[in-house]
Amino acid sequence: MTGPDRPATGLDVGDVVTVEVGPVAHGGHCVARHGDHGQVLFVRHALPGEQVRALVTELGPGGRFVRADAVEVLEASPDRVTPPCPYAGPGRCGGCDWQHATPAAQRDLKAAVVTEQLVRLGGLTPAQVEALRVRCEPVPGDTEGLGWRTRVEVAVERRGDGSTVTGLRRHRSHEVVPVDRCLIAHASVDATGVLGGPPPPAPVVALDVVAPSVGEPVVVPLVAPRRIRGAARRGARHTPVPSGPVPEVTERVGEHRFTLSARGFWQVHPGAAATFTAQVMAWLDPQAGERALDLYAGVGLFAVPLAEAVGSTGSVLAVEADREAAEAAARHLAERPWAQAVAEPTERALDRLVAQGERADVVVLDPPRSGAGPAVVAAVAALRPRAVVYVACDPAALARDLRAAREHGLELVGLRVLDAFPMTHHVECLALLRPHA
């Protein structure tokens, strides 16, 4: 390859180089350097301290870095194990990042990533992070990191030779790897027979498989949006949509039941919702008569126990931009008239509350992977809460928002890092913020 993306060291896609593997980085890979210029490689399927032969798979913009796979391990880490799944490894299924490490080592890697993000993006000092005692904890409901994923999208690829392949996608690719069993999938997902069974008829391009905590699993066929089906056949990227009505599923957390669309958002690890709720309630410790705000509320996972805690002399406002989820939250709160759910973008709802001079005693922030953003953080601080719990599925977004929170008088005083996505690089963080003393 020639041009602006070719690295100055001359590395190109397909090259194989020997490198010493450095620290873990956010995204399921480790950092290595090659050549006199110290060309950065982000190497998957490696572990810190190893020496590997790395196959270059992709060039980063401007040649600033390259992506690579460790295709041969010359000196192995003591934390390395044989991946339990035969589909895990270079060039295979992209669903898992760390199957080649022990579960304990995986959690150590995730804790290291969170620590690095808090320092580099969050502006905390190493001493401040050390005081938080960052460690990644397992979540009840899996078996050594396997059998936990209750929601799986199975891909369907119709190939030029007329064959149809059902399975999971390669890393950073739309190519489908035939898979007859996914080891991180919940047993109920595998029991549907979608993986390894006969492929669905056209025009189905994917299958959403959902194993709720109440009732039987459901399978939702997905098709390309009608307006781009022709383009999809030519290989264009698209977001599949349901081929018909989507059934509802029921999830149970303690004594509470939540009914939602099978395609609606819910935590995929069977122990996550209960674990997160218990920590949110313990940290906020909502009292009778207090005003609670649940932002990015989904179907009301946190709003319902908050409403019970503050009682009829208090109030709860659940804000959720997705109308279907907000309507579900309203149904779940219906027996508690002092709590309400609104279908509105979070930033707009906060602007209104701040303009009206409102206050909130406790706040839950559970934003999407991109984070809440500085405007939302500033507005939350303007409501002068005594405590905020931020539920984050991306440590980089969390770190950026924590920096903004500190600028507006909210200090990080507690942190839990939870391994709600074993075998993958994803991790969930719960952060407790309080006003500066």
Query: Do both 291 and 177 map to the same domain?
Result: no
Domain count for the chain, please give it. 3
Tokens 């539920």 belong to residue: 391
pLDDT score, position 238: 72
Structural domain contains residue 327: yes
26: CB partners within 8 A, 6+ apart: 113, 116, 117, 395, 396, 425
Binding residues: 267, 296, 320, 366
Structural domain contains residue 10: no
46-64: pLDDT as tens digits: 999 999 999 999 999 988 8
Just list the catalytic residues: 393
Alpha-carbon dihedral angle through residues 76, 82, 83, 88, given to the nearest 10 degrees = 70
pLDDT score, position 7: 52
Can you read off the two tokens belonging to residue 419?
């391994």
Query: Do both 311 and 417 map to the same domain?
Result: yes
Confidence at 6, pLDDT banded by 50, 70, 90: low
Query: Do both 172 and 261 map to the same domain?
Result: no
Query: Do both 190 and 271 map to the same domain?
Result: no
* Percent of the chain residues topping a pLDDT of 70: 95
Query: Do both 232 and 272 map to the same domain?
Result: no
Q: What is the mean pLDDT of residues 101-113?
A: 98
d(CA 318, CA 346) in angstroms, rounded, equals: 10
127-174: pLDDT as tens digits: 999 999 999 999 999 999 999 999 999 999 999 898 999 999 999 999
Structural domain contains residue 144: no
pLDDT score, position 237: 55
Query: Do both 288 and 408 map to the same domain?
Result: yes
Of 80, 105, 126, which residue constitutes the final position of a domain? 80
Output the pTM of the full model. Answer: 0.94
Structural domain contains residue 115: no
Structural domain contains residue 99: no
Of 181, 211, 246, which residue constitutes the final position of a domain? 246
> Residue 414: phi, psi to the nearest 5?
-155, 145
Query: Do both 238 and 311 map to the same domain?
Result: no
Read off the CATH number of the domain in which 24 is found: 2.40.50.140
Can you read off the two tokens belonging to residue 188?
């109920």
Q: What is the mean pLDDT of residues 170-195?
A: 95
Closest CA to 430 of 395, 403, 400, 406: 395
Query: Do both 276 and 425 map to the same domain?
Result: yes
Tokens 């110290």 belong to residue: 38
d(CA 244, CA 222) in angstroms, rounded, equals: 8
Specify the DSSP element, H or E, that contains 303. helix 303-310
Structural domain contains residue 420: yes
Query: Do both 287 and 402 map to the same domain?
Result: yes
DSSP 8-class letter at 26? T
Of 80, 97, 129, which residue constitutes the final position of a domain? 80
pLDDT score, position 233: 45
pLDDT score, position 3: 52
d(CA 376, CA 385) in angstroms, rounded, equals: 14
259-281: pLDDT as tens digits: 999 999 999 999 999 999 999 99
Decide: helix, strand or coil at residue 188. helix
Instruction: State yes or no: pLDDT of 117 exceeds 70.
Output: yes
pLDDT score, position 62: 82
Instruction: State yes or no: pLDDT of 378 exceeds 90.
Output: yes
- Residue with the bigger pLDDT between 437 and 263: it is 263
d(CA 236, CA 422) in angstroms, rounded, equals: 31
Query: Do both 269 and 386 map to the same domain?
Result: yes
d(CA 327, CA 120) in angstroms, rounded, equals: 39
CA 437 to chain centre: 33
191-238: pLDDT as tens digits: 999 999 999 999 999 999 999 999 999 999 999 987 554 444 444 457
Domain that includes residue 308, residue range: 251-435
- Residue 74 neighbours by CB distance under 10 Å: 12
Q: What is the mean pLDDT of residues 97-115?
A: 98
Is the Cβ–Cβ distance between 212 and 257 less than 8 Å?
no
Query: Do both 281 and 417 map to the same domain?
Result: yes
Query: Do both 210 and 286 map to the same domain?
Result: no
d(CA 71, CA 49) in angstroms, rounded, equals: 16
Binding residues for S-adenosyl-L-methionine: 267, 296, 320, 366
306-361: pLDDT as tens digits: 999 999 999 999 999 999 999 999 999 999 999 999 999 999 999 999 999 999 99
> Residue 390: phi, psi to the nearest 5?
-105, 120
Q: What is the mean pLDDT of residues 401-409?
A: 98
pLDDT score, position 231: 45
User: Helices 103-120 and 395-407, interaxial angle, to 10°?
Assistant: 30
In degrees, rounded to 5, the angle at the alpha carbon of residue 66 between the alpha carbons of residues 60 and 71 is: 140
Structural domain contains residue 368: yes
Read off the CATH number of the domain in which 269 is found: 3.40.50.150
Closest CA to 28 of 70, 60, 77: 70
